[in-house]
Structures are given as C-alpha cells and as structure tokens.
Structure 1
Amino acid sequence: MKYPAIAAGLLGFGLFTAPLPSMAAGQFECGGPESAVVAEVVKPLIEKAKLCKGLKQKVDAGLFKVKIKIDQTREVRVEKLDYCTSETSRKLEATVYVACETDEDEEVQISVDESFDVTVEIANKNCAVTDFKVEPRGDIGKLIAKNSDFEDKVRKAVERQIAKACDSAS
C-alpha cells in the first residue's frame, strides 16, 4: 500500500516551488492556482503508479493459513486532490481510488478496489511531516489497515519520499 507515499513524494515539484500566499499562521488556504498546478503535476504520476505492488496478506482459512497476493494494479484514479498552504505549513488532501487484482497465474482470482482519504501536512521550515492520516473508505481497506501496522508503514514511506523531494527542491 504505497500510494500515499508515492503521492507525497511526487509533490516535490509543486510543494516546494509554488509561492506562499500571505495569511495568518495556522489558517490554510486551499484551491486556487497553486492547487491546480500541483494537481496537474501530481495526478498523472499517481495514476501511473503500480500501487498494489507488494500487497499480500495471510488469511486464516480455519484449518490452514493462505497467503493471498493481490499485487497487480488494475486502476488508480485520483478522485480529489487539494493543495493547501498556510504561513507555516502545506497540506495535501486527496482521495485515491485503487483497484488491485491477483496475477492471472494465481489459482484463485481475486479483485479488490478501495478509495482512501489521505492528508499530509508538511512544515515549511524543515519539510517535516507534522500531521498524517490515511483512512480507507470501505470495509476491505479497514480490514487491511486493522490487521497490520498500515498507517505507520505508509507514514514512514511518505516521510522518506518527502525528504527526497525536499532535498531535490533545495
């Protein structure tokens, strides 16, 4: 489940090159020309990403455990993408739809699709991730998130990608 990381990492161009509007500290301004520029750059990159790669889960089938790999990306679609700025930080709010399926060589064919709401806030001063949240909208995503350290893994991946973006923008 690397898509939030990819989304945040690919923001390097828009996140760190768009000018900051003048406003009160802590108050976010969303939309406008900066949001459109970031969306133009980021949206196609997210939608081309192989976001299901590495998605596997052990499922207890009663008598035995089965490893299910749903690691083929069928579709990625950015349903919503807002870029917000304040005097002290920047924020990306996105809803990303992801459809994954098993490889055609697998004995059991499974297809899973889910939309995720992602919010990442980044400090302007040092590019640190100050707030992070990823929430699956449906039951399958909630089950995956509940049975693993999903949010922690995704947050760490996002932080690595943002650090790379900050390094390349400076």
Structure 2
Amino acid sequence: MGTTDTAAEAPGTEDEFRKLDEFMCFVLYSAQRAVMNAYRPLLDKLGVTYPQYLVLVALYENGPSLVKSLGAALHLDYGTLTPLLKRLEANGLVTRRRRADDERLVEVSLTPEGTELRRKANVVVPSLDEAMGLTAEEQEQAKALLRGMTANLAAHG
C-alpha cells in the first residue's frame, strides 16, 4: 500500500511558494527602509532621529500634548516614547511637566528651540516627496491604500 504525497499538491507548498519580492510585507519593509535611508541625512542635519522628528511634528500639529495622547497618535507605547521624550528634553527641544490638576498626567510642550526647529525642518518633506518620484495624486492614493490596509489589519487582530 503506497502513500501519496499530498503535501506537494496542497496550496502554499514549496513549489507554489511566492518569491520574496512578491510578499506584500517585504515590499512594505523595503519601502520603509528606503524612506528611512532618505530621511536620515535630512534629519541628521537637524540633530534628530526619525522617531524624534515624528514627536516634534505631532507637537507642531497639536500643540502641547499629554504623553498618552502622543503615544496614541504615533502608535508608540510608553516604554518607547519616554526615552524619546527624555532625549528631546535633554536636547532642549521639549519640556515635560506634570499637570497641576492631575499629577499623574505629563504634558509635553515645545521649547522656543523646538519651535525654531520647525522652520529648519520645512525642507524635509518636500525633499523626500521629490526623492520618491510620485505625483501628488499618486502619493494621496498610496496613503489612502496604506491607511485602509492599516485599519483592516488593526481590526483583524
């Protein structure tokens, strides 16, 4: 009585395995690395890392913010965000203060130096937009697709 090799016929077997550049996760990973590599020299001139830059952009957009609100906006947990804020504070770009009405809450604000950095940082996004080589419409389409994908994945689990 012989055995049949059903594994070779099953979907997702080695014979049907996708190539690396066909994996959506790998394409996203590669794009993310390329974006970070393009950002790095621009942000090095400003003396901040990409995650620090995101914190500053959130503060430029929303003004003084609670640590919890920043974490939610940036999808960062407290353990990741706190060291970023400490470095930004040590560099004189933000201040952290406990709220008088509830000392459990810490509010983060830009310093004058942090506000001034915004003027210098205004070249970052246009430089990166140019390097991406996408039209404004293509960028909007890509962002819409990625936001939808992010929402679907978050809802999925």
> Same fold per TM (> 0.5)?
no
Q: Which has more helix, going by share of residues? A: 2
TM-score, reference length from structure 1: 0.28
Q: Which has more strand, going by share of residues? A: 1
Larger RCO, structure (CA 8 Å, separation 6 or more)? 1
State which structure, 1 or 2, has the greater radius of gyration over its C-alpha atoms: 2
